[in-house]
Amino acid sequence: MHPDPAFRWPKSGNDHNDADERAALEALIAQIGFGMIFATTPDGPRVAHVPVFSTGDGALQFHLSRGNALTKHLSGMTALCVINGPDAYISPDWYGVDDQVPTWNYLSLELEGSVREMEREGLVALLDDLAEQNEVKLAPKKPWHRDKMDAGKFNKMVDAIVGFEMEIVAWRPTAKFSQNKPVAARDNAADALDALGRRAVAHMMREFSPK
């Protein structure tokens, strides 16, 4: 992964500020809601695949099973979280321009920060937040809530996991969507992706295209 220091999230109009970009990245975390936590342990490098929740004030929360290889080491460590957006292979034939090579377009966000273990009360709040954030996406289905569960069974399941909070010190987004190609070539490739049903990447190619 190669974070782009010149990254700017697309925004209508000519005005753009860091608050707009941060809001867009927060929305990306909420929309995808799933990431990978990387850290080095005494047993070697390890990764965990987890639902994630951004508190909106610079922290990322997640939970691991007590048996996960990272759980007993993570508190007090500096870790990385990677959240991947849409991606797709790009054929050089699609550009309509000579002497091109195959590539892969993608959107990804890398977060770095120190990690602390959460108290049980915070963990329960995290579980409620994750359920609420994701259940609303299923409307018009009536949202699930843990009140539907037997309290004893819920508490037993909470005992089996550990909550963590990462204090984010670095946000490193990367958007690779053929921005270096001519507009017509980029649009040709986006049309090809649309025809294959890869509409998310096609949309992002147009959104990230400097016109």
- Amino acid, single-letter form, for residue 80: L
For the range 47-55, what are the long-range contacts, defined as Cβ-Cβ under 8 Å and sequence gap of 24 or more? 51/130, 51/134, 52/81, 52/83, 53/29, 53/126, 53/129, 53/130, 53/133, 54/26, 54/29, 54/30, 55/165
Helix (H) or strand (E) holding 103: strand 103-117
Give the pLDDT confidence score for residue 16 in this predicted structure.
Answer: 53
Task: Compute the average pLDDT of residues 41-46.
Answer: 94
Q: Residues 126, 33, 51, 147: what is their CA dihedral angle, to the nearest 10 degrees?
A: 40
Task: Compute the average pLDDT of residues 69-78.
Answer: 96
Structure confidence at residue 12 as a pLDDT band (50, 70, 90): very low
Least confident of 1-5, 14-18, 157-161, 201-205: 1-5
Instruction: Report CA-CA distances (Å) from 83 to 36, 145, 156.
Output: 7, 26, 29
Q: Which residue has the tokens 């009140």?
A: 147
Enumerate domains of the chain plus CATH numbers. 18-88+103-178 (2.30.110.10)
Structure tokens at 48: 């965990």
Report field, pTM of the whole predicted structure over 0.85: yes
Least confident of 7-11, 66-70, 158-162, 167-171: 7-11
Asked whether the beta carbons of 62 and 83 are under 8 A apart, the reply is no
Structure confidence at residue 198 as a pLDDT band (50, 70, 90): very high
Asked whether the beta carbons of 183 and 211 are under 8 A apart, the reply is yes
Neighbour-count burial for 81-96, b at 16+ CB within 10 Å, e otherwise: bebebbbbebeeebbe
User: What's the start-to-end Cα distance of the chain, in Å?
Assistant: 26
Q: Residue 9: is its pLDDT beyond 90?
A: no
Question: Smallest Cα–Cα separation from 56: which of 83, 30, 84, 89?
Answer: 30
Give the pLDDT confidence score for residue 22 in this predicted structure.
Answer: 87
